[in-house]
A = this chain, B = another copy of it.
Amino acid sequence: MHSNVKQNVVPLITPGLKVACSQCNLRELCLPFGLSESDMIRLDCLIGGGRKLKRGQHLYRAGDPFESIFAVKTGFFKTDVLTEDGRDQVTGFQMAGEILGMDGISTEVHACNAVALEDSEVCLIPFTELEALSSEIPTLQHHLHKVMSREIVRDHGVMMLLGTMRAEERLAAFLLNLSQRFTARGYSPAEFHLRMTREEIGSYLGLKLETVSRAFSRFQDEGLISVQQKHIRILDIARLKALLAPPDGRIS
C-alpha cells in the first residue's frame, strides 16, 4: 500500500558511491576545511563510503548506537527529538556540507532522529577513526572542535529565537537563515524551495502550523515575499531584516 518513499528500509552502504574529500566541491564548507592536500587524502581513507537515502528515510534514530558522524553531500535533512510523553521538537535542518550526528558522542547512543527530507546522500565518518586521525592532524582536530562549537552557538541562537521572538520575527529569522545558507552554497539568496512542511517549520520555531501559514500569508500581503506552496521568493530582504530589529528597540 505504501510507496517505497515511506518504507524507511535500512539502506545499505554503497561502496561504489565513495567520493574523496579531496575531490568534493563541498570541502571548503565541510570537515576537510583548511587541510593540506596530503592530510585531506588521509581523511579520504577513513571516510567509509557514502550512503543514499530516499525522502522520508531515517539516517539514524534516537537510541541507535553511535558509530559515525555524517556529512551531508546532497539533499536535505531534519533532526528531531521526541520524548516519551509525545512531545516532538525539530532541532535543526541540515543541508550540503553540514555535519550530522554529533549528538551521539556523549552517550554512545544517538539522542535524536535524523530524517532525509528529500532524496539525499551522506558521507559516513567513523568517529573512532576520526578521533585517531585528528590526534595526528592538529588542523583536523581543531576544525572538528570548531564544528562542534558552531553547533553549540547555533543552538544558542535558536534558544534566543524561541525565548524572545514573536511569530513573525521567528519566521523572518528562519527565512533569512535559509537564504544565507543557500547563498553560501551558490544558490539564489532570494528564491528557494522549502523541503519541509509547515508543521516541521512550526515545530522548529515553536509555533503551530496554522501560525506559520498565517505569517507566510501576511508576509505575502505586505509584499515581503511571494509564497506558492513550498516555493519562496524573497522580494524585500531589507524589510524582512528590519522585522528582527524593531525600530523602538525593545531594550529591557
Question: Which A residues have a C-beta under 8 Å from some C-beta of B?
Answer: 81, 83-89, 91, 102-107, 111-112, 131-132, 134-136, 138, 141-142, 144-153, 155-160, 162-165, 203-206, 244-246, 249-252
Which secondary structure dominates where chain A touches chain B?
helix
Decide: A250 and B86 in contact? CB cutoff 8 A.
yes
Q: Can you give 14 contacting A-B residue pairs, CB < 8 Å?
A: A83-B160, A85-B244, A85-B249, A85-B250, A89-B160, A89-B164, A106-B146, A106-B153, A111-B153, A155-B155, A155-B158, A155-B159, A158-B159, A162-B162
Decide: A89 and B163 in contact? CB cutoff 8 A.
yes
- Chain B residues near A87 (CB-CB < 8 A): 160, 164-165, 250
Contact of A88 among B89, B104, B164 (CB under 8 A): B164
Decide: B150 and A251 in contact? CB cutoff 8 A.
no
* CA–CA, A152 and B158, complex, Å: 12
* CA–CA, A104 and B146, complex, Å: 9
Knowing A136-B135, A149-B102, A152-B152 touch, does A159 contact B162 (C-beta < 8 A)? yes
Decide: B156 and A86 in contact? CB cutoff 8 A.
no
Decide: B252 and A89 in contact? CB cutoff 8 A.
no
* CA–CA, A162 and B157, complex, Å: 13
Measured CB to CB, the nearest residue on chain B to A247 is B85
Decide: B86 and A251 in contact? CB cutoff 8 A.
yes
* CA–CA, A191 and B151, complex, Å: 34
* CA–CA, A112 and B156, complex, Å: 9
Decide: B86 and A159 in contact? CB cutoff 8 A.
no
- Chain B residues near A249 (CB-CB < 8 A): 85-86
* CA–CA, A142 and B145, complex, Å: 12
* CA–CA, A162 and B155, complex, Å: 12
- Chain B residues near A204 (CB-CB < 8 A): 163
Decide: A149 and B252 in contact? CB cutoff 8 A.
no
Knowing A88-B252, A105-B146, A249-B85 touch, does A111 contact B156 (C-beta < 8 A)? yes
